[in-house]
Amino acid sequence: MLGARAWLGSVLLLPRAGVGLAASRRGSSSRDKDRSATVSSSAPMPAGGKGSHPSSTPQRVPNRLIHEKSPYLLQHAYNPVDWYPWGQEAFDKARKENKPIFLSVGYSTCHWCHMMEEESFQNEEIGRLLSEDFVSVKVDREERPDVDKVYMTFVQATSSGGGWPMNVWLTPNLQPFVGGTYFPPEDGLTRVGFRTVLLRIREQWKQNKNTLLENSQRVTTALLARSEISMGDRQLPPSAATMNNRCFQQLDEGYDEEYGGFAEAPKFPTPVILSFLFSYWLSHRLTQDGSRAQQMALHTLKMMANGGIRDHVGQGFHRYSTDCQWHVPHFEKMLYDQAQLAVAYSQAFQISGDEFYSDVAKGILQYVARSLSHRSGGFYSAEDADSPPERGMRPKEGAYYVWTVKEVQQLLPEPVLGATEPLTSGQLLMKHYGLTEAGNISPSQDPKGELQGQNVLTVRYSLELTAARFGLDVEAVRTLLNTGLEKLFQARKHRPKPHLDSKMLAAWNGLMVSGYAVTGAVLGQDRLINYATNGAKFLKRHMFDVASGRLMRTCYTGSGGTVEHSNPPCWGFLEDYAFVVRGLLDLYEASQESAWLEWALRLQDTQDRLFWDSQGGGYFCSEAELGAGLPLRLKDDQDGAEPSANSVSAHNLLRLHGFTGHKDWMDKCVCLLTAFSERMRRVPVALPEMVRALSAQQQTLKQIVICGDRQAKDTKALVQCVHSVYIPYKVLILADGDPSSFLSRQLPFLSTLRRLEDQATAYVCENQACSMPITDPCELRKLLHP
C-alpha cells in the first residue's frame, strides 16, 4: 500500500501533513495515539477561513438534509452546501454528471467535526466548490458503520492514520481515490487547506480522470486482498495458551506503572483489555503473571476513577484523557463507554471485594439513568464535549464541566467544625480535588486558551490523607465532600447543557442492557436489573421487525418524547445483533426470565442468515444487499473502544451452545476463530476479546444449574452466590421443574436433576456431567471459587 500512498501524494501534490488527523474513538491502539497527537498540534483557524467572503447577512436556507432524522446530518442542514444523504439519488447524479463524490463522515458529538463544519462547510466559497464540482454526501458513522469502516480502511491504508471527520473523494462507482480527516479551511505552514485540496482534485479530475480511475481500481483491489479474513486451509484455531501469553506480554510491555493504562497520551478507557486481564488472572492466578494481570487492571480502574476522565460531580466517564495522568479529558460522554465500564467496575468488585469499584459502577448507571435514558426504556447515544459557558456565547469544550476557585468558594462557604485550622467546605473540596487559583489545566492541553483559570476535578489524596491533613474524621470528610459535590451538581444544572445526541442505536442499547444486567446481578439490585429489562423491552417494541425477524439499527426521539424511525428504516448491522444477543443472554442470567433467552436464539438465527460467511468463516459486518455498491464487504478485526462484533459473536455462540446443546453453535464458533487465526497470531493485542473467546472455547464451559422456584428466597440466595463470584466462562440456568419449559426442551439432561429435600439445589455441570447437589450458598461458593 506504500505505492498507493506515494501515488496519492504525487497526483494531488499534497504533503503528508495535508491528510489531517482527528481525535479517534476506537480505543487505545497505536493508530489512536497517532490520530490524536496530530490533532493536538494543529492550529485552529478562524471561522470561514482567511480567503472566504461570507455573506454579511447569510440567509439560513435549508438543504435536503433537513428531512433526515440523524442529529449529525441535521447539524449540517443549513450549510451552503448541496448535501445529499448516502443513497442512490446521489450516486445517480454523480454518474449522470460525471462528477467525483465528496463523502464526509462524522458524528454529532465529534469536536473536530464541529470545527470543520464551522470553518469550512459554513463557508460560502467552499460551499460553491462542493456544490458545483462535486456531489457532496454526508454520512452519520453511527447510522452507517459499514460505509464508515470501508472508507476508513482506505484512509488508514493510504495515510498515517484515521479519525473523524473523515473526508474521502470517490469515483461515481464509489471507489475511493484520495482521503483524509480534518482539514483546516486554508493553507498553513504544515497543512494544506481544504479549499486548496478541492481545487486540486477538481483540476486532476478534469485533466487526469482516467489515471485517477485506474489507480482507484488498483487501490481497491489491493484493499480487498489485504482485508480478506478467511479460514483458508486451516482446520482449527491457534492454541489459546499461546495467544493468551502473547497478548499478556504485549500489554505488559505498554503498561504505565504509575498511572495505569496502556501507551502514552492520549489514554483511552480500554474495557476489552481490562476484561482480558481479569480472565487471564483467573486462569493464571497462582502465577506471578496472573497476579500482575490483576494488579494492572485494578490499578488502571482506580486511577481512571480518581482522575478527571471521570465526572466526579455528575458521574459517568468522558471519552478519553489528553494526558497520561487521566487528568484533562476530551469531554464528550459516549453510551458505549458507560455500558462497558459499568461491567468492568462490577467485575473489579467481584474480584477484589472493594466497594470503591461497586460505587463507581453504580455512579455510572446513575448518570445513564438520569441523562441518557428515554422514558420508554431506550438509551441515547452521547453527550457533546462542547457547550456555551453562558447562554448566547460560543460553545467551548468542557465548559459544562470545569470550575474556578471563585465559583467553588461562593458555593461552599460554610466553615468546617473541628478542623485544626480555619477551613471552609470549599477549601476542603479544592484541596482534595486539586483545584488552584490559576487553574489546574496545562496550556499545552488547552491550545485554544479556552480553559484558562479553570479546573478539572481529580482526586489528589486519599480520604485518609485529606482527613489527617486537617485533623478530621474520615467519615466526616466523606460526608463533607459528598455534600459539596451535590451542591456543585445542583449549581451546574443552571449552566447551558451540552448537546444530547438522542439517536438510539440497537448495538449500544444492547451493550447498555448488559451494563445494567451484569451490575444489577453482581450487586444484587433488582432496580438495576429492571432498567435492563426495560431496555430489552424497548428494543423489542421499537427496534425489532416481527415480520422479518430483523433488528433496526436506529430510532430517534420525536416531539413530546415519542419514538420515530427513518423511512425507509435503517436495518441492523452485525454489531447490532451481536451486542443485543449478548445483552439478552446477560439479562436472562440476571432475571431468569427465559423469554429473553428465546429471543436471543431467534436473533442469532437471523444473524447467521444475514451475515455468516459460509465459505470463509466468520461474520461480515453488513448484509450483502445493504452494502450493495460498496467496494468492500468487511469483517471487523479489532477490539477497540467497542469490541469487535465477531469477538462478541464468538462468546455468544459458546454461551448459546451451553444453553441449548446445539452443536451448530460450537461448530460456527470454531470456524469463526479459525478464520481470525492469522490476525490473532500476528497481533493478539488487537483482539483481546477474541483471545478470551478462544480460551473459553478451548476450556470447558461450566453449566451452573439452579433447581428451584425463581421467586423463592433459597433460589435467589443460590443465584446471588453465583453472581458474586467472577466466573467468565459459564452459563447460569434456572431449572424450574417444568418439563415443557423452553430450557428443558433444549437440554434433556435437566430433567434428571432434582431438588434436594424440596430445597433450591445447585449443580455445577461440564459436558452434561454434574457435581453432587448443593443447597448451601457457602458450599456453592467454595466449589465455584476454590
Instruction: Report pLDDT digits (tens) over 562-597.
Output: 999 998 899 999 999 999 999 999 999 999 999 999
Q: What is the pLDDT of residue 58?
A: 53
The CATH number that applies at residue 104 is 3.40.30.10
Residues 164 and 259 in one domain: no
Residue 459 has pLDDT above 90, yes or no: yes
Is 441 inside any structural domain? yes
Q: Which of 208, 227, 246 is the last residue of a domain?
A: 227
Q: Tell me the H-state helices in 41-144.
A: 71-74, 88-97, 111-116, 124-133
Q: Which of 479, 501, 523 is the last residue of a domain?
A: 501
Q: Is 60 exposed, middle or buried (0-12, 13-18, 19+ CB in 10 A)?
A: exposed
Nearest to 139 by CA among 179, 168, 171: 168
Q: What is the pLDDT of residue 786?
A: 64
Interval 657-679 mean pLDDT: 95
Residues 420 and 283 in one domain: yes
Per DSSP bridges, beta strands 554-557 and 504-505 are: antiparallel
Is 238 inside any structural domain? no
Distance (Å) of CA 298 to CA 10, 45, 294, 302, 393? 49, 42, 6, 6, 41
Residue 750 to residue 740: CA distance in whole angstroms: 11
Q: Is 184 helix (H, G, I), strand (E, B) or coil?
A: coil
Residues 215 and 265 in one domain: no
Residues 317 and 214 in one domain: no
pTM (2 decimals)? 0.92
Residue 336 to residue 650: CA distance in whole angstroms: 20
How many domains is the chain built from? 3
pLDDT in tens, 538-557: 999 999 999 999 999 999 99
Q: What is the pLDDT of residue 247?
A: 97
Residues 259 and 369 in one domain: yes
Distance (Å) of CA 64 to CA 116, 569, 710? 19, 18, 54
Phi, psi at 346, each rounded to 5°: -65, -40
Q: What is the pLDDT of residue 374?
A: 97
Grid coordinates standing for 409? 468558594
Q: What is the pLDDT of residue 59?
A: 63
Residues 347 and 415 in one domain: yes
Residue 274 to residue 347: CA distance in whole angstroms: 10
Grid coordinates standing for 775? 443447597
Identify the band that residue 719 occupies on the pLDDT scale cut at 50, 70 and 90: very high
Lowest mean pLDDT among 273-277, 335-339, 443-447, 666-670: 443-447
Residue 300 to residue 302: CA distance in whole angstroms: 5
Residues 157 and 278 in one domain: no
Range picked from 190-199, 310-319, 748-757 for highest mean pLDDT: 310-319
Q: Is 636 exposed, middle or buried (0-12, 13-18, 19+ CB in 10 A)?
A: buried
Is 13 inside any structural domain? no
Residues 497 and 354 in one domain: yes
Per DSSP bridges, beta strands 329-330 and 544-545 are: unpaired
Is 46 inside any structural domain? no
Residues 200 and 266 in one domain: no
Is 276 inside any structural domain? yes
Instruction: Tell me which residue range forms the domain holding 779.
Output: 700-785
Is 109 inside any structural domain? yes
pLDDT above 90 as % of the chain: 82
Q: What is the pLDDT of residue 189?
A: 82
pLDDT in tens, 111-139: 899 999 999 999 999 999 999 999 999 99
pLDDT in tens, 374-413: 999 999 999 999 999 999 999 999 999 999 999 999 999 9
Distance of CA 108 to the CA centre of its chain: 15
Q: What is the pLDDT of residue 587?
A: 98
Q: Which of 455, 474, 501 is the last residue of a domain?
A: 501
Phi, psi at 267, each rounded to 5°: -110, 135
Which residue would you say has higher pLDDT here, 327 or 39? 327
Q: What is the pLDDT of residue 559?
A: 86
Residues 273 and 141 in one domain: no
Residue 481 has pLDDT above 50, yes or no: yes
Nearest to 330 by CA among 264, 386, 387, 274: 386
Residues 214 and 304 in one domain: no
Is 117 inside any structural domain? yes
Per DSSP bridges, beta strands 554-557 and 563-564 are: antiparallel
Residue 673 to residue 108: CA distance in whole angstroms: 35
Is 292 inside any structural domain? yes
Residue 632 has pLDDT above 70, yes or no: yes
Identify the band that residue 194 occupies on the pLDDT scale cut at 50, 70 and 90: very high
Residues 219 and 343 in one domain: no
